[in-house]
Copies of this chain bind each other. A is one copy, B any other.
């Protein structure tokens, strides 16, 4: 007997076939019962005589054998009739929540405690399909621009980039740390390939407990050489976002509809505002004086997001030129005014999504930057070696995958955009 995918039933009208998958829902109506079968491709309806009381419970694994028949009222226009049911694997316990309802009506703790099974809900699956499409769009756009994908180590020998926020471990009797970003390695790899990207986990031992932080996340990292300055980097950010959302749109029509997602239009030129001007604007328009601040609060970012939408019809806003005092030592200063940096944040719907900028590229500049920061050079010896041997002007940025999906889907918490999130309290499932 021909076993077909649920999505193929429309091409097998009149034929006897098998379909197999999870019992998604069952319901009775008058003297007949409906079973929606879910497989890795989609769903299909089967119709049974009787009240359906003998049908397997939701999530049971079944193989259905029957005839495909057109029916205008069936989802997709076809259904399986006169089916026989073979139960391949039974359900052991009642589900922690109904997976067949349109909404998954559970609180965040239940969702996370039972993510193993609740991630099967269509709304959850849709979110992670968007994540997969975002990664694919990221890679495709960069591959088309001659970037090379790299995989750099996550176990590192010095807690260099920001000591307080790294996890440490015992590595065969000596200390090691988990990489909190591939920053140093991706810069080093500019020396090798000029243009590189990486998709991989990063680890942050931050004690934040907010709706936009998790302690392990997926970072989409980009770094490339022979830039003019941070504006070259921002131009790539723009094109890359366009590529990511184009891929999401073309791959995920069904998921976008299901989640009621508004895929943003990426403007040909994303509006940009200097950090200094952002402070002035917020102060003038809200009456809250923030002149002299060295960072933007989440409230400031939200306000700027609304402003960009109102004034520029843009879901995106670049804030450029953050103070050097708040940026890491490898940040390239603004040559016109070294109080400010050649760096940027990208706000997406009022939340910081991307941080990036131009990096220093001269060995002597690194030595003086480390001295200014009060940092020793020794832990950075291998990193600095790259700059001894010819590094071009370069820059890059990182996108937090889960935060991208959170903002795209307007989820209340970034943990909802993570398969199995890690926070201060949670290491399982």
* Residues on A facing B (Cβ under 8 Å): 20-23, 39-41, 59-61, 88-93, 95, 114, 116-117, 119-120, 124-125, 128-129, 131-132, 135-136, 139, 143, 146, 148-158, 167-172, 174, 176, 178, 185, 188-189, 191-195, 199-201, 203, 205, 207, 215-216, 218, 224-226, 361-363, 382-383, 385-393, 401, 419-420, 422, 424, 427-429
Contacts and interface: CB of A to CB of B under 8 A. Distances in A.
B151 A131 contact: yes
A72 to B, nearest CB: 27
B40 A154 contact: no
Given A40-B225, A155-B427, 6 more contacts: A117-B191, A117-B388, A151-B218, A151-B401, A157-B428, A199-B199
A422 B174 CA distance: 13
Q: Which of A167, A172, A390 counts the most chain B CB atoms within 10 A?
A: A390
Given A20-B226, A153-B422, A389-B95, A41 B146 contact: yes
A104 to B, nearest CB: 13
Contact of A136 (B40, B119, B149, B170): B149
Nearest 7 pairs between A and B by C-beta? Answer: A40-B194, A157-B427, A382-B429, A169-B169, A59-B390, A157-B428, A92-B388
Given A89-B392, A192-B120, A385-B429, A135 B149 contact: yes
B167 A171 contact: yes
B40 A427 contact: no
Contacts of A128: 148, 150, 192-193
A158 B170 CA distance: 17
A323 B89 CA distance: 26
B155 A132 contact: no
A195 B40 contact: yes
Given A125-B193, A150-B128, A391 B61 contact: yes
21 contacts: A20-B226, A40-B224, A59-B390, A88-B392, A89-B390, A91-B388, A91-B390, A93-B389, A116-B191, A117-B191, A117-B388, A128-B148, A129-B148, A136-B143, A136-B149, A151-B401, A154-B216, A169-B169, A171-B427, A172-B424, A185-B420
A393 B155 CA distance: 35
Contact of A169 (B168, B387, B392): B168
A23 B152 CA distance: 26
Contacts of A156: 427-428
A170 B171 contact: no
Contacts of A389: 59, 91-93, 95, 117, 120
Q: Which of A158, A389, A420 counts the most chain B CB atoms within 10 A?
A: A389
B92 A61 contact: no
A120 B390 CA distance: 11
Contacts of A88: 392-393
Nearest to A114: B385
Nearest to A167: B169
Nearest to A216: B155
A393 B199 CA distance: 31
Given A188-B116, A191-B120, A192-B125, A151 B385 contact: no
Contacts of A215: 155
A306 to B, nearest CB: 31
Contact of A386 (B116, B185, B189, B207): B116
Given A20-B392, A193-B125, A167 B167 contact: no
Nearest to A125: B192
Contacts of A176: 427
Contacts of A135: 149, 151
A203 B155 CA distance: 9
Given A22-B390, A191-B117, A178 B171 contact: no
B226 A39 contact: yes
